[in-house]
Structure 1
Amino acid sequence: MNGASIVGTGAPAAGDTISSAGEGRMSISIDFGTTFSGVAYGSSRIAGGNVQQILTWPGARENFRKIPTCLLYDDAGRVLAWGLEAKNASPMPGTVRCEWFKLSLEPSALRGDIVDPRLPKLPLGKKAVDLIVDFLTCLWDYARERITQEIGIVADLNAADVWLTLPAAWDAKGCQMMREAAIQAGLVGTAFAGDRDWRDRLHIITEPEAAAVHCAHLTDLHQLRPSQNFMICDAGGGTVDLAVYKIIGSLQDLEIAEVCARSGSNCGSLFLDLRFMELVRILLEDHPVHLEPASLAHFMHAFSETEKLGYLGKSDDGNMFRFTCFNVEDSDDPSVGLINGELTIPGNMLRGEVFNPVIEQVLDLIEEQICRANQRVDALLLVGGFSGSEYLRKRVEETFGSRIEVIARPSDADTATCRGAAQYGLAHRQLVSSFIAPKSYIMRVKLPADLEDWQRRPAYITRNDAGVHICENRLQYLVSKGAILRKGQRIRTKFCKFSSSSQGDIDRMFVAMLYASDSDETMRYTDEGGMYELCKWTVDLSILPSFQHHANVPHPGGFYTHFEVGLELDSAEARGVLLDNGYECGRVAFDFLV
């Protein structure tokens, strides 16, 4: 992102760690999924501190741990139903059912690319964010009511910490849009008069990080030792997200660090449904009565509810899979598999046309993440709804079993993300505590010339306006590759700039070149190679109180402005923060790691 400029925020500097839920404060997680969503909650004062899930939903007599991420609109754009009621509604004139709209905020969609031409279009006059706001509003309004009923007291939900799960591969823009949508939907609000920090009660957590919290207390991981690594593969309806963690202390205390940048892709179980739909269209091309919307929906529902997760792969090649037709006419054509009102599809055809293309994507994604980590992976945990696929688990074991000692699907794998996010909020400390820097972040600076500079780079040495010999093109490491950083930690580095006056861009602008390096070697000068430019960071120092103070006092010989640059690094992005006496004056994101 060349030419990035820092912008003033006027906000006080954040501390060196991320705050967690206050003692006794309720923690509520919303696992907003592409195909299904769920809500979990907990408090030290409820059920012994154990996480609870909402199981009772509108339109259902049974209990469901998750409900469809689905909306039903009328022609005027009003919400008629949501969740199960929207999913199960019969087609009606003047209505439109909306699903899978979460994918419209993933990075390629925000760049203007078509995520998948098979996905339904948005209703006329609606943007993806509008649908997300509508769904979260319905979900949250019901969750507030239900939580209050289930705990038997009037809960102060306005003061709760709310944790919203997002895919690992989303960039900062998508995360910010989701955050704004959640605030608009009312997930957090003022709890008392003068509550100015109420927005801070909304937290974003990635799906694999939340799942790691749930999994780390399970016996599948307790055999691991410090310095060993485990991978979370969160295979959901729309996306598959991966992250690798290193155990750096006690696993029971969840002292783990992310080893490398997370990754993810749109290859969840939804894409099995879409490929199945394509296969049906091809087989029944000459039988249009079975390609009407209601008929196609009937076929896809039968596949999704019965065969998708139970399909076994090669051992099912010789079996015939039968799907009852919705329409009774034109019910027999054995040449395409129409036999006595059923569409019959051979197992080997399902494997080649439906399952293998998607599962191969998942396997490639896992392989790429192992290469990215560049370290041994000692355990692989499959979570998410798609992890329930027997064929997926079998293929993962066949492909990686010789290299990864433990491959397991933990208990409650389909709700690991939802439960883990709530558990994260209940802990009164940072759980996934650290991040291992995948590269070095370096800034080009001017420093007083020393003997080594005179010997190695005399051509870089000039005299500034104050008569001091300065070596240009020196490097200052903000963080080195492999450094273990605490989550939320801010690495601060002091800088100063000489200004001959307070006027003019040269005197008030601080321009820094930011570089990154994948090398383990430490370099001193910009011409040593082994690094690449991230961005040109332009900082207007006139926003600093210290600069303004000097500007109002005569300085015939010029003056120095002292300030700090803070580096914040997590597994999603690297950010620079401008500080003046500990006061945050601006920030910029200069590297996205996913």
Structure 2
Amino acid sequence: MTDPEKVEITDRKIIVGIDFGTTYSAVAWAETQRPDRRVAITVWPTSKMNLKGESSDKVPTKLRYKGTDAQWGFAIPVSAPADEVVEWFKLDLDPSLQCMGTAVTFAASSGVRDVDTLVTDYISALGDHLMYTLREKLGEGVVTSTPLEFVVTVPAIWSDLAKDKMRQACQRATALSAPNAPIDLVSEPEAAAIYALHGFDQHGLDVGDSFVVCDAGGGTVDLISYTVTNLKPILSVREAAPGTGSLCGSAFLNMRFAKFLKAKLGNIEGFDDEVLADAMERFDKTVCPFFPLHDMRQFTLKDRDDDTYTIPVGGLAKDKALGINRGRYALKVSDLRVIFEPVVQEVIKLVKDQITSSRVSIKAVLLVGGFGASIYLKERLRAAIDSKIHIMQPPNPWLAIVQGAVMKGLAQSAPENLTLVSVQARKARKHYGIECKKPYDEEVHGGLGPNCTKEWCGMDGCWKVKNMVWFIQRGDAVSENEPFYTYIIWNFPVTLGRPGKLWLNVYADPTAREAPIERDENVALLCHIEVDFGHIPENLLGRKKGVDGQWYYQLRCTVEAVYLSASTRYTLLYNGERYSSVTAEYV
């Protein structure tokens, strides 16, 4: 652990972790001078005037627009009309995801704001409250003079476009857009693994043992399997298989419960949005342990079908047949099982599939996230998979992701002193590559499809065809310390003028097949990489005379790609120099 006396004031930083969740969000921070003291924000505003009105480990991911003002979190009154409250909008960042095998779109609101604006506004509110909290805890002088670094968690199953949208929303948020403040992305299950492995004191794991992390949150369920590669001086792991996941988090339990309650009580006089909101809040506290209150009985496998849970339905008249008495509805366990069943079954399937795809012996499954704290989910998993596999939940799994994000940021800031758990290598989830022109070979290209058409190359004096060149294949081990290099030769007739900004298309293929030679319907455009040659001096631009007698600019360069936990960093290498003028636009 770092000795605070050995950290210079000029090296002092504040590392902030942000877990932007589907239903609830969290913020935590730590100073590099005191890395063992990670502080989660647990007091939230209930109005603009009361910034310390609600105590909770997390804050609801909700917005409500009133004119030019935006209420958020606990500041939104429970009595607010349902059609004015915007929630679950995180799921709209990646509409390509499927909900339990079916494509689904979540209308963020009635057209009042687009999803990018919603995310920016909410992250801005989180950031403003963070800065208020830091000033309260550390003082204005320290906050003003100390650089901030942000680590934001994202679902591992998100598309690269969704992750990039999340980064851009953070960059637009006022508190996070401080000059030169880095914003790094880390996958939610990786952050959870970093926290859980450190907090669990290694759980009897040995070098070579493998385990699955199941991050069951509000919207997504993400799974990654790891193999332990080293125990000392730090715990090191590598991914055992590409991760998997789906939309089957606790938000879908809420949706199913709301649909159930409307069908059961919706026609009764007095049933309205306020009654439904009160009922939903108790449902959260009772069956989805977002609020770890000791006096709340949580739904378990041992409950009998005729047992009941009390749900408030204030204002509804007594109806013995429906189970309403003194403003309370008796929710039967048999009904709870029906509500839970399709969601739980999907999680069980995901865990089983991840265990199988790992192709190694799995010793344990770590359950994290809000839904991951469910006793019922743990019990159902316990009954569904091999009894030799341990099912474990770390302390306070609801905060595992945000705490892991802070730990990740601390390790990046001073790895020689602060690294507690290291992810040495990850498994590529897709084939990644570019399309290049290669000399035509009848034996290789003769039987290919319409995308493989011959074109004459005057520079080299031969027929060429477009070929996929894959620099990463699905399942390959990728590491932050081992960049991938793509070597490219660009030829431009001198008569057309000096080359300026050029575009390079990167493609991805998520299918579990051998990487194809030809780009087909399964190979999708991932991003455009813009390469700026405009600032490279003319005398450094290579020239070569072609077979056709014309002169060509010939640019032999390398694009360096570093694949991080949840993002990619590109750099151009040309004539031995490194240029950061490479930008990626995801599609």
Per the shorter chain, which TM-score range? 0.7 to 0.9
Deviation (angstroms), 1:483? 4.3
TM-score by length of 1: 0.76
Match status 1:409 vs 2:393: yes
Code of the aligned partner of 2:234: D
Q: Relative to 1, partners in 2 of residues 1:275 and 1:365: Cα closer, same or farther, differing over 3 Å?
A: same
Q: Deviations over 1:250-272 (max 9, x none)?
A: 37624223344433333222222
Kindly indicate whether the alpha-carbon contact (under 8 Å) linking 2:323 and 2:329 is maintained by their aligned counterparts in 1: yes
Aligned residue for 2:574?
580
Q: Deviations over 1:420-469 (max 9, x none)?
A: 111111112384332234566566767799xxx99999999999767788
Kindly indicate whether the alpha-carbon contact (under 8 Å) linking 2:213 and 2:365 is maintained by their aligned counterparts in 1: yes
Aligned residue for 1:67?
59
**In the aligned structure 2, how far is the partner of 1:39 from the partner of 1:172?**
23
Code of the aligned partner of 2:275: S
Aligned partner of 1:160 among 145, 148, 153? 148
Kindly indicate whether the alpha-carbon contact (under 8 Å) linking 2:531 and 2:583 is maintained by their aligned counterparts in 1: no
Q: Deviations over 1:126-158 (max 9, x none)?
A: 223333233222222221121222235633366
Code of the aligned partner of 1:115: T
Deviation (angstroms), 1:205? 1.7
**In the aligned structure 1, how far is the partner of 2:288 from the partner of 2:82?**
32
**In the aligned structure 2, how far is the partner of 1:530 from the partner of 1:299?**
50
Kindly indicate whether the alpha-carbon contact (under 8 Å) linking 2:13 and 2:149 is maintained by their aligned counterparts in 1: yes
Match status 1:490 vs 2:483: yes
**In the aligned structure 2, how far is the partner of 1:173 from the partner of 1:53?**
29
Aligned residue for 1:34?
22
Aligned partner of 1:305 among 279, 282, 285? 285
Aligned partner of 2:257 among 247, 253, 276? 276
Point out the more displaced range, 367-376 or 241-250: 367-376
Match status 1:423 vs 2:407: yes
Which secondary structure does the structure 1 equivalent of 2:141 belong to? coil
Kindly indicate whether the alpha-carbon contact (under 8 Å) linking 2:78 and 2:278 is maintained by their aligned counterparts in 1: no
**In the aligned structure 2, how far is the partner of 1:101 from the partner of 1:510?**
32
**In the aligned structure 2, how far is the partner of 1:70 from the partner of 1:511?**
39
Which secondary structure does the structure 2 equivalent of 1:187 belong to? helix
Q: Relative to 1, partners in 2 of residues 1:222 and 1:547: Cα closer, same or farther, differing over 3 Å?
A: farther
Count residues in correspondence: 543
Deviation (angstroms), 1:214? 0.6
Aligned partner of 2:376 among 376, 391, 401? 391
Kindly indicate whether the alpha-carbon contact (under 8 Å) linking 1:294 and 1:326 is maintained by their aligned counterparts in 2: no
Higher relative contact order (CA 8 A, sep 6+): 1
Aligned residue for 1:436?
427
Deviation (angstroms), 1:533? 4.9
Q: Relative to 1, partners in 2 of residues 1:489 and 1:470: Cα closer, same or farther, differing over 3 Å?
A: farther
Which secondary structure does the structure 1 equivalent of 2:211 belong to? strand
Q: Deviations over 1:380-432 (max 9, x none)?
A: 11111112211101011111243x62320011211011111111111123843
**In the aligned structure 1, how far is the partner of 2:502 from the partner of 2:311?**
69
Q: Deviations over 1:227-284 (max 9, x none)?
A: 3322221112222222222333337624223344433333222222221222222222
Q: Deviations over 1:95-117 (max 9, x none)?
A: 9333322222233389xx7535x
Using the aligned pairs only, state the percent identity.
Answer: 25
Aligned residue for 1:8?
none
Match status 1:78 vs 2:69: yes
Code of the aligned partner of 1:85: A
Aligned partner of 1:342 among 296, 321, 328? 328
Aligned partner of 2:363 among 369, 375, 378? 378
**In the aligned structure 2, how far is the partner of 1:337 from the partner of 1:325?**
11
Q: Relative to 1, partners in 2 of residues 1:475 and 1:250: Cα closer, same or farther, differing over 3 Å?
A: farther
**In the aligned structure 1, how far is the partner of 2:160 from the partner of 2:511?**
22
Point out the more displaced range, 359-368 or 567-576: 567-576
**In the aligned structure 2, how far is the partner of 1:92 from the partner of 1:448?**
66
Structure 1 stretches lacking a partner, 5+ long: 1-21
Match status 1:206 vs 2:187: yes
Instruction: State how 1:118-137 maps to structure 2 within 5 Å.
Output: 122=109, 125-137=112-124
Which secondary structure does the structure 2 equivalent of 1:378 belong to? strand
Q: Relative to 1, partners in 2 of residues 1:57 and 1:251: Cα closer, same or farther, differing over 3 Å?
A: farther
TM-score by length of 2: 0.77
**In the aligned structure 1, how far is the partner of 2:521 from the partner of 2:565?**
20
Which secondary structure does the structure 2 equivalent of 1:234 belong to? strand
Code of the aligned partner of 1:432: V
Q: Relative to total residues, which structure has the larger strand share, 1 or 2?
A: 2
Aligned partner of 2:205 among 217, 224, 232? 224
Which secondary structure does the structure 2 equivalent of 1:108 belong to? coil
Which secondary structure does the structure 1 equivalent of 2:423 belong to? coil
**In the aligned structure 2, how far is the partner of 1:106 from the partner of 1:467?**
44
Q: Relative to 1, partners in 2 of residues 1:391 and 1:514: Cα closer, same or farther, differing over 3 Å?
A: closer
Kindly indicate whether the alpha-carbon contact (under 8 Å) linking 1:434 and 1:486 is maintained by their aligned counterparts in 2: yes
Structure 2 stretches lacking a partner, 5+ long: 1-9, 47-51, 290-297
Code of the aligned partner of 2:383: E
Code of the aligned partner of 1:434: A
Kindly indicate whether the alpha-carbon contact (under 8 Å) linking 2:503 and 2:528 is maintained by their aligned counterparts in 1: yes
Aligned residue for 2:176?
188
Q: Deviations over 1:518-539 (max 9, x none)?
A: 8999x9x949x99975569999
